[in-house]
Chain A
C-alpha cells in the first residue's frame, strides 16, 4: 500500500526519527537493504515486465535491458564497491599541517526525496534510490502517477522488501507532489520536465535543500563526413525508436547535408524493416505512447509540421500507436523543433557545413546528450570541443548512460547534478572536510597568535603556501 492512509508528515517524521537513530549508517545495514532491493527485482521480474507492458507496451527485451538489468547492474556495482566508497579519503597537506590527519568523510544527508518519471518508471526511481541507500540516507520515493501499473507495483513491493522505517513510497499526482515539496528534505532528486523543475527548485530554496535535476531537451544528432551509413542508420534507429522515442537521451533530430540525407533515408528504412518488420504495428518489439494525452500532443505536432514525411506517418489513437516516422525538409521554425519530441518522430534538417551544424546546436539550449556520427575523427573532435551537453556519444546513441563510471546528468537547461555508479553515492552524500590536529607543536602555532610580529609572516607564508609541483593528491 502507498501512503494514502498516513499523512505525508507522519511518514516523513518517521523516516527522520529513523535517520537520527543512526540505523542507516552502518555498512551492514546499507548492504542488507541493497541486497533486499536486488531480491525484489529478481523475485518479481515477471510482475515488473507485466506492469511495464501495461504502462508503455514496453517490449520485454527493452524492459529487461533498459530497466531490470540497469537496476541490477547498479545494485551489483554499489554492493561491490560500497566499502571503498565509504572509506575516508586522505588528502595532501601543507607543511603546517603535515603531522595532522586531513581527510574527507562521506556522510549521509538525511531524508531525501526521489521523484521519478514515467518513461523508464522502474529505473528512474530505483537507480537514484540505490545511490541514496548506499550513501546511508532514508528516502521518500514518489513514482510517476502516469505509469500507473509500475507505480502501484513499486508501492506494493518496496515496503515488502526494504525497511519500512527508513524508506517510504508516496503515490499521487501534482497536488500530492506539491504538498510533499512543502516538507523539508535534505536532498531532492527529480527526473522530468523543465517546467516542473523550476517549481521544485523554488520549493527547495525555501529550505535551502540541494537538488539534482535530470531534465531533457532536444538531443541533436549530427551526421557528417565520410561514414558507414548503414551502421550509422542502425544505431540511430535503435536509439531513436527504443521505447517508441520516449527516452530523455533519444536523438531528437538529425542534422546532415542533403547528400548524406539522401543516403540516410533508405538506410533508415532498411534498418526499420529489419528491426520492426514492414508492419511495425504488429511487431512485439515496437512500443506505444504512454497516454492518450501524449499521443495527441505528438500527432498534433506532426500535423502542424511543414516537413515532408519520408517514412511512416501512420498512427492509431486507440492503440496509442505512432508508426516510426521520418520527415525531411524540416525548417528550424517547424513545430517539431519547438520542444522535445519524446516520440517516434525523427525530423531531418539539412546543413551545408559542419560549422553550420555546430552553430545551430549552440544557438539552442544545452541538451542532455549530443550525438555525432562520422568515421572522421577530426569531425568528432571538432563537435566535442565546440559544443556543450550533459553527455556526448559518437557513433552510437544512449549507450553512454549505461557505463557506471560516467556521470549521468545535464547542464544548463538539461539539468544539474549527476548520478549512476559512484556519482549517485556522491550526490546523496556530504563531503565533510576533517582535520585532526595534535596537541604538540604549539610552539609552531605561536607564529599565528597576537601580538603580531612581522617576522612571523615569512614563516607562515612558507609553511602554509603551495610549492611548485606540490602534489596535493590523495595519499593512497
Chain B
C-alpha cells in the first residue's frame, strides 16, 4: 500500500505539473485556506491529543505556518529564479548560474509535540521547491494525524501530497521505498534508523532531532525577567518542546533566588494549582508519563513534584542541586521537570556543556556582553537565543536545525526551499570563440601551458572581474580627487604668497595635511573596494 502511494506520487511528479510556479502557489494558497478554515477542528484534535490550549496552538503552530506560507508565496519567484555566480576570465561572456530544481518525491515524517508545525512547515518547503511529498504524521498525536489525513486531500493535489498514517510497521515500509529526500523530526535513536534506511538508496536526509538544551544563568542579570522567560519556554506544552530549556546551570549563590523567581512566575502563569489551569498541558501518553516520572529518581524537589497518572498530569517541577550523573541528566527530559545543576561560573558551565553532545538549542542569560560572547565562541549548538528562550525559532530568515547529535540540515523560510531543492551548477556557453580554448588543448608546449595558466590561474587578488573593474574605477576616482585637492590647495597657497608677502603665513599645506589627504583617499578607496567585495559575497550561498 505504501509502495503504491509512493509510486503514484512519483508519477504525479514526473507528469511535470508541479514545475510551474503557478501550481505551487495555488497549492500553498490552498494549504493556507485549510489552516484558516479548519482552525476549530485542528484545535479540538490537539486538545484531545495533548491538551494543548487554543492560545498555544495559535502561537506555536498556526501563526508560524501562516507566516511561512505567506513568505513562500511572496518570495517564490525570487527563490526559484536562476542565481548568478562568479565567472573567471574565460567565461566572462558566458552564462554562469545556479538553477534551483525540484528533487522529486520527498518523505516528511512528523512528530507529535507540535504535530502541525513540524509536519506542515517542511511540506511548505517541499511544495515551494516543486516536489511531490509523502506526509507521515506521528501516530502518537492520533487525532491530529487522522484529521490531517482527512483534510489534506480535500485541499491539495491528492496524488502529489498523500498522507500515510500508521505506526512503526507503516513507517518501516515507507522507509524501504526510494525517496529523493527524507525529512525527519523526532529523536536521535530513530534518526539513526532513518539515516540507515536512507543509505540504501543514497537518499539525502534532514534530521531535526533533540538533545538536552542547556540554559546558563549568569549571576549578573535581571533574574526576575530571566526566570520568567525561562519558565514560559520550559513549561509551555508541558515541557514537550525540542528546544525547551532542558536544564539550568547557575552558581550556587543564586540558586535559591532562581527557584523563588520561578515559583513566583508559575503562580502568575498557572495559579495555585496548575492542574486546573486551562493553559497548562499534559503529557502525551502513559508511556512518556512513566518515563518522565522515572527521571525524578534521586533528585531533590524544590517546586512541584505532584502528578496524576489518570490525566497524564505532571506539575511544573524544579529540582535543586542536581548531580551531573543523576538519571534526569542522562537523557532529554521532554517534560515539565527543570533540574538546576550548580557550577562555579562561566568557565565550568562551558566545560560542562562541551563535555556533552551538541544540543539543538543553547540559552544564556547575562547582562554582560562578554559572557554571551564567550558562550557563543566556545560552545556549539543548533541555535542560540541569549536572554530569552525559543525565540530564534520564530524568525524565518534564521536557519533552524541541529548539529552533531541534534541533527543535520536546516529549514524555515528560504532554507526550507533550498534544503528540498537541488542547486544545479550551470554553465551555458556558445560554440564560438574557439580561439580562446586553444591554450588548453594538446599537443602541449611550455608557451601554451603559460597561456592556459594565465587564463585559469587565480591571481593573488582573486576578486571577481566586476570588483576589479570597480576597484580600478575607485582608484582612478580617488587619485583624481587627490590630484584635484592638491592642485586647489597649492593654487590657493600660491595666491596667498602673491598677495600677502607682507604677512607671515603659516603654510596651508604641510606634511600633516598631505598625509591626511593621502590616507583619506586610501581609506575611501579601501572602503569602496571592501564594500563591494563584501556585497558580492553577502548573498547566502545556501545549501
Contact = CB atoms under 8 A, between A and B. Distances in A.
Contacts of A413: 202
Size bracket, chain B contacts: 35 or more
Interface string B81-104: 000011110110000101101011
Contact of B229 (A417, A436, A445): A445
B535 interface: yes
A238 B441 CA distance: 7
Contacts of B537: 81, 84-85, 422
B432 interface: yes
Contact of A400 (B278, B372, B427): B427
A61 B449 contact: yes
B442 A283 contact: yes
Nearest to A107: B380
A407 interface: yes
Contact of B384 (A433, A439, A442, A456): A433
Given A390-B425, A396-B427, A97 B394 contact: yes
B457 interface: yes
Interface string B431-475: 110100100111110001100110011111111100000000000
Contacts of A436: 372, 385-387
B398 interface: yes
B454 to A, nearest CB: 11
Given A186-B404, A448-B232, A423 B541 contact: yes
B109 interface: no
B522 interface: no
A464 interface: yes
Given A107-B380, A208-B408, A422-B537, A437 B387 contact: yes
Contact of A20 (B209, B354, B385, B452): B354
A404 interface: yes
A225 B391 CA distance: 56
Contact of B380 (A206, A405, A430): A430
A80 interface: yes
A417 to B, nearest CB: 8
Given A411-B422, A416-B202, A468-B70, A404 B533 contact: no
B542 to A, nearest CB: 8
B63 to A, nearest CB: 5
A417 B408 CA distance: 12
A393 B428 CA distance: 6
A457 interface: yes
A235 B427 contact: no
Nearest to A93: B395
A133 B430 CA distance: 37
Contacts of A91: 395, 397-398
A148 interface: no
Contact of B456 (A73, A85, A276, A450): A73
A388 B101 contact: yes
A391 B425 CA distance: 5
A165 interface: no
A34 B90 CA distance: 26
Interface in B57-85: 58-59, 63, 66-68, 70-71, 74-75, 85
B430 A395 contact: yes
A465 interface: yes
B198 interface: yes
Interface residues of A, number: 124
Interface stretch (B152-160, B188-196, B253-261, B330-338): B188-196
Given A80-B461, A202-B196, A476-B535, A418 B543 contact: yes
A373 B535 CA distance: 35
A272 B326 CA distance: 73
A391 B269 CA distance: 55
B204 A416 contact: yes
A435 B428 contact: no
Interface string A413-426: 10111100111001
A318 B381 CA distance: 56
Interface stretch (A117-125, A156-164, A226-234, A337-345): A226-234
B396 A407 contact: no
Nearest to A445: B229
A116 to B, nearest CB: 19
A197 to B, nearest CB: 6
A277 B452 contact: no
Contacts of A449: 228, 232, 268-269
B55 interface: yes
B342 interface: no
Nearest to A96: B394
B279 A208 contact: no
B429 interface: yes
Nearest to B537: A84
Contacts of B423: 407, 418
B172 to A, nearest CB: 15
Interface stretch (A64-72, A250-258, A327-335): A64-72
A432 B66 contact: no
B538 interface: yes
Contacts of B372: 436
Contacts of A431: 399, 401, 410
A437 B385 contact: yes
B524 interface: no
A204 B194 CA distance: 12
Nearest to B423: A407
B383 A432 contact: yes
Nearest to A286: B442
Contact of A435 (B56, B384, B434, B534): B384
A392 B426 contact: yes
A202 B397 contact: no
Of A69, A201, A238, chain B has the most CB atoms within 10 Å of the CB of A201
A189 interface: no
Nearest to A105: B376
A32 interface: no
Contact of A432 (B188, B229, B382, B448): B382
B394 A94 contact: yes
Of A22, A194, A391, A434, chain B has the most CB atoms within 10 Å of the CB of A434
Contacts of A278: none
Given A61-B444, A84-B533, A413-B202, A406 B427 contact: yes
B367 interface: yes
A191 to B, nearest CB: 14
Contact of B394 (A59, A201, A464): A464
Nearest to B422: A411
B199 interface: yes
Contact of A403 (B87, B101, B391): B87
13 contacts: A97-B391, A105-B376, A205-B195, A274-B441, A276-B442, A285-B443, A384-B99, A393-B426, A426-B541, A437-B391, A449-B268, A449-B269, A451-B269
Task: List 5 tightest A-B contacts by C-beta distance, closest first.
Answer: A405-B86, A201-B199, A405-B85, A452-B55, A285-B442
Given A215-B202, A431-B410, 4 more contacts: A205-B199, A384-B99, A466-B74, A474-B538
Interface of B: 53-56, 58-59, 63, 66-68, 70-71, 74-75, 85-88, 90-91, 96, 98-99, 101, 103-104, 180, 188, 191-193, 195-196, 198-200, 202, 204, 207, 209, 221-222, 225, 228-229, 232, 268-271, 277-280, 354, 367, 372, 376-378, 380-388, 391-392, 394-401, 403-405, 407-410, 413-414, 422-432, 434, 437, 440-444, 448-449, 452-453, 456-464, 533-535, 537-543
